[in-house]
Amino acid sequence: MAGQQTRSQMRTPDRGDIVSPVVLQIDSEDADPAEMDEALRVLSSELLSAPDLDVEHKQEPAPPNTKGIGILSALAVTLLNAKAAASAVTVLGDFLSRHKHMKIRVKNGDQEVEVTASSPKELAELLQQVAVLMRAQRV
C-alpha cells in the first residue's frame, strides 16, 4: 500500500544491533505449489506477529532438486535488534512442529542451514545453528 511503512521504517534502532536480512525458503518433497505458497503466507504472518522482525516477500532462485519452475517465493527477514533472533527461531520451531513434511532453508550471505522437524532434539540443534546464522552478519 502506498504510504504504508514497514516496521524497520517506523523505528530507528541502534545500528549496532541490526542484523542483515536473512532469506527463508520453504521446501517439501510432497507438497504442491499451492500448499507451499499457503505455508509461506502462514510463516510470514507468524513472523510478522513476533517482536522486532521485519518481513518482506521476495523471489529467489530455487535450489537444485526442488519442486517448481526454478523460482521460489521466499521471505527476507530483518532482525531489528539482537533479541529478535530468539523470536524468529521460536516461530520457525513452532511452524516446523506443525508442518513436519516441510523444511526451511535459512540463508545469510553465503551461509545456509536447512531445518527440518525430524525429531525434537534434532530440531533444537538445528534451530541453535539458525540463531547463530541469523546473528552472523551485522550491518
Contact 134, 85 (CB under 8 A): yes
User: CB-side exposure of 37: number of CA atoms within 13 Å?
Assistant: 6
Closest CA to 129 of 1, 22, 6, 48: 22
The CATH number corresponding to 17-134 among 2.40.50.100, 3.40.50.300, 3.40.190.10, 3.30.70.100 equals 3.30.70.100
Question: What cell was used for 111?
Answer: 551461509
Domain boundaries, the chain: 17-134
pTM beyond 0.75: no
Instruction: Give me the average pLDDT of each 10-residue run along the chain (139 residues).
Output: 38 46 85 85 93 84 56 78 82 90 87 80 79 66
Query: 70-73, long-range: CB within 8 Å, 24+ apart, which pairs?
Result: 72/25, 72/26, 72/27, 72/36, 73/36, 73/37, 73/40
Q: CA-to-CA distance for 41 and 67, rounded, in angstroms?
A: 18
Q: What pLDDT sits at residue 45?
A: 94
